[in-house]
């Protein structure tokens, strides 16, 4: 017992637990040993075993005051305020001069937001012990809940003066500074806490959370790595480190950490949660979801697990189930703003505009300057034809972020829909000025000019002026090329698109547009000669090699096209357009699905927002039987290419194989209405089978 207490006082809780257990082997009915072992488990964060030992202690000796006090704290930590209050009142009944019991009662009242009762309990504690640092800390917390920050600071600082070695004092003071958005003072205070309690993990974990809130990810990672290496609380620190690595997409770094945690205790709920997240990051959505479901079944209030399951449901295109999980998240943790954020977006995607606005406004109540939510409210209100609300949200977004283009674009769209075309264009021009590469805003300007019945020549001239001012923006040139084709000058449009391919080789759409134009104009052979001539001067010009592959593809020579794509990748292994097209070739024509998946992922990494790349990756995953993962990417492709029959067909087939026949029917029907495409016969058969 003496050795155990020495270890406990030094913060060496694992060694303390071993010695307390040794004492209990000699005397299993030693109530004080059960009590101290329970307090040790509590210090280790093992509340289940702590509870068991403390209950055993009180069964053996109900007069053990510290056992009842610690039980009350564990009940409170577990959310059982009623039993915590029972323990506090039992101790007060036995000893009306027990200041710690009054403080436990005060914390119970504070947790229930009964601030007046909490304040009264603290005053009772101070009547018993006027120099109680813990009481002044509670008074400081109570003042913070009332928004009286001056009083809060005074009381917390007085608590630290009363007990300068109190870890709790520094932790509450750091929390105060964070609430006042004084990150520098919070960081300094937490470093002092680390210095006075080097064996405790709490100040380091709070420091890590502060770093994360500030976006100092490298500092947080270094902190957790040090704790994993040297302690304290290495297992918990490893969990934080792994979660940070997963959040940042560093799978190669996270994998060894997950393996180490699983080897140590594969039954631990948080370890299984992290393992599930790793599975999801590897695209194994089914296995990851299944593991999260089991974790939540055992721990229904594990909010982070529910949130990750919700994101997995979204990737499986199970929007209703995702929404259900987010609602459960908010039931357990109403202040979980990110869950509301995603729920608002889900409602918007489902065209449930009223619900989307309701959730977005709840996010805005917590974060009034949330720019994405103001944009969402504007978009949803516009969809409801609530023009005043749409305009107000767009104008608020502009006030909050005057240097971001999204607010001006939304205001322009609202004004355009209301017929205020001149004002609409003025707002869109402001947005484009802030982000000259925003091709969608340039297209909005062209639409407004068309609504104003401006001649095609004037629309072309406006786009030409933008291209001249921003010659490196391939998206603007793509708009110009298309305008020229539509206006009746396809030869000039081809020249512009050829320049796009030459100077912006990652714009996959430009290759598709050029190929279609060459076919329409009967210029495939001339185009081949042109690109071969370019390569005769310099055989390492990748866009020229790529165009030869596209021409071979259009002329019905898929194997020759594949060789050109390989040639392009030999020159530049990361050239996404060639990786995308070769992935398609391997999946569709040669059945080399492993090679196809590696190339499709390479293309996606380089061009994450390109819909044709999303379509290819989704189709490869479909071919491998990973339908839920396929839908995630195919949906992105189809939403951005709504008039492309093949993209709608691919999404429809994935829905069908994933068991969603209603959505499959919608997409396959839409695909067939858009015109002939490879796979049209299969789409017809699928529709016939569905009835």
Q: Helix, strand, coil shares of the chain as percentages rounded to 5?
A: 80, 0, 20
pLDDT band at 58 (very low <50, low <70, confident <90, very high): very high
Q: In terms of Cα–Cα distance, which of 505, 487, 489, 596 is closest to 542?
A: 505
Determine the average pLDDT of the residues in 453-468.
93
Q: In terms of Cα–Cα distance, which of 341, 391, 339, 384 is closest to 361?
A: 341
pLDDT band at 229 (very low <50, low <70, confident <90, very high): very high
Q: In terms of Cα–Cα distance, which of 362, 317, 335 is closest to 376?
A: 362
Q: Is the pTM of this model over 0.75?
A: no
For 343, other C-beta atoms within 10 Å of its C-beta total 26
Using the predicted structure, report yes or no on whether residue 682 has a pLDDT greater than 80. yes
* Residues 448, 421 contacting (CB under 8 angstroms): yes
Determine the average pLDDT of the residues in 290-300.
93
pLDDT band at 540 (very low <50, low <70, confident <90, very high): confident
Which helix (H) or strand (E) segment holds residue 335: the answer is: none
Retrieve residue 78's tokens.
């577990």
Q: From CA 300, how far away is CA 686, in angstroms rounded?
A: 40
Which helix (H) or strand (E) segment holds residue 489: the answer is: none
Using the predicted structure, report yes or no on whether residue 501 has a pLDDT greater than 90. no
Retrieve residue 438's tokens.
């925003």
DSSP 449-460: HHHTT--HHHHH
Q: What is the mean pLDDT of the chain?
A: 91
pLDDT band at 86 (very low <50, low <70, confident <90, very high): very high
Rounded to the nearest 5 degrees, what angle is found at the Cα of 636, between the Cα atoms of 432 and 479?
Answer: 35
DSSP tally for the chain: helices H, then strands E: 41, 0
Using the predicted structure, report yes or no on whether residue 198 has a pLDDT greater than 80. yes
Q: In terms of Cα–Cα distance, which of 590, 596, 641 is closest to 615?
A: 641
Cα–Cα distances in Å, from 256 out to 14, 229, 278, 279?
24, 14, 11, 13
Residue in the block written with tokens 């406006």: 462
Q: In terms of Cα–Cα distance, which of 426, 425, 506 is closest to 473?
A: 506
Which three-class secondary structure state does DSSP give residue 476?
Answer: helix
Residue 275: partners with Cβ closer than 8 Å, 6 or more residues away: 258, 261, 262, 266, 291
SS (H, E, C) 197-223: CCCCCHHHHHHHHHHHHCCCHHHHHHH
pLDDT digits (tens, 9 = 90+) for 369-412: 999 999 999 999 999 999 999 999 999 999 999 999 999 999 99
pLDDT band at 77 (very low <50, low <70, confident <90, very high): confident
Q: What's residue 488's pLDDT? A: 74
pLDDT band at 364 (very low <50, low <70, confident <90, very high): very high
Phi, psi of 96 (to 5 degrees): -65, -10
Determine the average pLDDT of the residues in 115-121.
91
Determine the average pLDDT of the residues in 552-565.
92
Q: From CA 411, how far away is CA 103, in angstroms rounded?
A: 54
pLDDT band at 511 (very low <50, low <70, confident <90, very high): confident
* Residues 245, 267 contacting (CB under 8 angstroms): no
The separation between CA 636 and the C-alpha centre of its own chain, rounded to angstroms, equals: 17
Q: From CA 4, how far away is CA 33, in angstroms rounded?
A: 10
Q: Of residues 488 and 168, which shows the higher confidence score?
A: 168
Q: Looking at residue 233, what DSSP letter applies?
A: S
Query: From its phi and psi, is residue 488 left (phi > 0), alpha (psi between -120 and 50) or beta?
Result: left
pLDDT digits (tens, 9 = 90+) for 302-318: 999 999 999 998 887 78
Q: From CA 397, how far away is CA 405, in angstroms rounded?
A: 10
* Residues 574, 537 contacting (CB under 8 angstroms): no
Which helix (H) or strand (E) segment holds residue 398: the answer is: helix 387-400
Cα–Cα distances in Å, from 656 out to 428, 616, 649, 650, 661?
41, 18, 11, 10, 5
pLDDT digits (tens, 9 = 90+) for 599-638: 999 999 888 889 999 999 999 999 998 888 899 899 989 9
Q: From CA 537, how far away is CA 541, in angstroms rounded?
A: 9
Q: In terms of Cα–Cα distance, which of 660, 688, 655 is closest to 672?
A: 688
* Residues 94, 62 contacting (CB under 8 angstroms): no
Q: From CA 439, how far away is CA 437, in angstroms rounded?
A: 6
Using the predicted structure, report yes or no on whether residue 361 has a pLDDT greater than 80. yes
Determine the average pLDDT of the residues in 143-161.
90
Retrieve residue 519's tokens.
């076919």
Which helix (H) or strand (E) segment holds residue 676: the answer is: none
Determine the average pLDDT of the residues in 247-264.
93
Q: What's residue 678's pLDDT? A: 87
Determine the average pLDDT of the residues in 326-355.
92
pLDDT digits (tens, 9 = 90+) for 6-18: 998 887 888 999 9
Residue in the block written with tokens 């039987």: 625
* Residues 337, 360 contacting (CB under 8 angstroms): no
Q: In terms of Cα–Cα distance, which of 270, 267, 274 is closest to 288?
A: 274
Q: Of residues 138 and 530, which shows the higher confidence score?
A: 138
Using the predicted structure, report yes or no on whether residue 512 has a pLDDT greater than 80. no
pLDDT band at 514 (very low <50, low <70, confident <90, very high): confident
Q: What's residue 393's pLDDT? A: 96
Retrieve residue 114's tokens.
């009964």
Q: What's residue 320's pLDDT? A: 86
Q: What's residue 120's pLDDT? A: 92
Residue 385: partners with Cβ closer than 8 Å, 6 or more residues away: none
Q: In terms of Cα–Cα distance, which of 131, 133, 134 is closest to 105?
A: 134
Cα–Cα distances in Å, from 492 out to 434, 465, 488?
29, 16, 9
* Residues 115, 123 contacting (CB under 8 angstroms): no
Q: Looking at residue 540, what DSSP letter applies?
A: T
Which three-class secondary structure state does DSSP give residue 488?
Answer: coil
Q: From CA 298, how far away is CA 304, in angstroms rounded?
A: 14
Q: What's residue 400's pLDDT? A: 94
Determine the average pLDDT of the residues in 201-211.
93
CA dihedral 188, 194, 196, 202 (to 10 degrees): 120
Which helix (H) or strand (E) segment holds residue 551: the answer is: helix 542-554
């Amino acid at each position: 017992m003496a050795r155990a207490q020495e270890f406990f006082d030094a913060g060496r809780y694992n060694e303390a637990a071993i010695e307390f257990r040794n004492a209990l082997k000699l005397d299993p009915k030693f109530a004080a040993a059960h009590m101290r072992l329970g307090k040790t488990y509590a210090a280790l964060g093992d509340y289940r075993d702590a509870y068991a030992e403390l209950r055993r202690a009180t069964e053996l000796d109900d007069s053990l005051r510290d056992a009842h006090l610690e039980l009350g704290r564990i009940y409170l930590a577990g959310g059982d305020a009623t039993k915590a209050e029972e323990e506090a009142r039992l101790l007060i009944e036995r000893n009306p001069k027990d200041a710690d019991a009054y403080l436990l009662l005060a914390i119970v009242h504070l947790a229930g937001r009964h601030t007046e009762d909490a304040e009264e309990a603290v005053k009772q504690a101070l009547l018993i012990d006027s120099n109680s640092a813990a009481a002044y800390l509670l008074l400081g917390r109570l003042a913070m809940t009332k928004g009286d920050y001056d009083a809060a600071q005074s009381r917390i600082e007085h608590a630290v003066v009363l007990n300068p070695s109190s870890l709790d004092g520094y932790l509450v003071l750091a929390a105060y500074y964070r609430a006042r958005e004084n990150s520098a003072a919070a960081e300094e205070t937490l470093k002092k806490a680390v210095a006075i309690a080097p064996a405790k993990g709490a100040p380091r974990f709070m420091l890590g959370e502060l770093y994360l809130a500030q976006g100092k990810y490298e500092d947080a990672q270094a902190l957790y790595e040090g704790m994993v290496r040297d302690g304290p609380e290495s297992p918990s620190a490893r969990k934080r480190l792994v979660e940070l690595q997963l959040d940042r997409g560093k799978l190669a770094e996270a994998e060894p950490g997950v393996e180490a945690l699983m080897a140590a205790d594969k039954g631990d709920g948080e370890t299984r949660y992290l393992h599930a997240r790793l599975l999801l990051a590897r695209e194994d959505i089914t296995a990851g979801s299944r593991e999260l479901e089991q974790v939540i079944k055992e721990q229904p209030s594990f909010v982070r697990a529910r949130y990750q399951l919700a994101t997995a449901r979204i990737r499986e295109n199970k929007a209703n189930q995702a929404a259900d999980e987010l609602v459960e998240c908010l039931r357990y943790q109403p202040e979980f703003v990110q869950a509301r954020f995603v729920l608002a977006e889900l409602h918007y995607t489902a065209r449930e505009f009223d619900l989307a606005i309701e959730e977005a406004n709840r996010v805005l109540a917590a974060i009034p300057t949330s720019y994405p939510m103001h944009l969402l409210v504007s978009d949803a209100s516009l969809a409801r034809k609530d023009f005043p609300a749409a305009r107000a949200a767009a104008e608020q977004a502009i006030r909050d972020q005057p240097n971001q283009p999204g607010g001006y674009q939304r205001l322009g769209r609202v004004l355009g829909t209301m017929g205020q075309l001149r004002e609409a264009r003025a707002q869109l021009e402001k947005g484009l000025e802030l982000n000259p590469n925003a091709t969608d805003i340039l297209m909005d300007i062209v639409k407004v000019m068309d609504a104003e019945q401006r001649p095609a020549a004037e629309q072309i001239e406006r786009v030409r002026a933008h291209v001249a001012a921003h010659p490196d923006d391939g998206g603007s040139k793509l708009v110009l090329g298309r305008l020229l084709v539509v206006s009746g000058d396809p030869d000039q449009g081809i020249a512009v698109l050829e320049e796009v391919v030459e100077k912006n080789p990652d714009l996959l759409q430009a290759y598709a547009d050029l190929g279609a134009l060459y076919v329409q104009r009967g210029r495939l052979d001339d185009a081949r000669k042109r690109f071969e001539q370019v390569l005769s001067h310099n055989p390492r010009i990748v866009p020229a090699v790529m165009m030869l592959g596209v021409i071979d593809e259009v002329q019905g020579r898929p194997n020759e096209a594949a060789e050109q794509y390989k040639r392009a990748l030999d020159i530049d292994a990361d050239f996404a357009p060639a990786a995308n097209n070769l992935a398609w070739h391997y999946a569709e024509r040669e059945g080399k699905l492993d090679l196809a998946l590696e190339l499709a992922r390479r293309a996606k990494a380089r061009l994450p927002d390109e819909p044709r790349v999303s379509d290819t990756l989704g189709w490869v995953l479909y071919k491998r039987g990973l339908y839920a993962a396929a839908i995630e990417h195919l949906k992105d492709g189809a939403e951005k290419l709504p008039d492309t029959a093949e993209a709608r067909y691919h999404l429809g087939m994935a829905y069908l194989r994933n068991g969603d026949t209603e959505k499959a029917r919608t997409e396959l029907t839409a695909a067939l209405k858009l015109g002939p495409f490879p796979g049209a016969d299969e789409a017809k058969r699928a529709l016939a089978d569905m009835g």
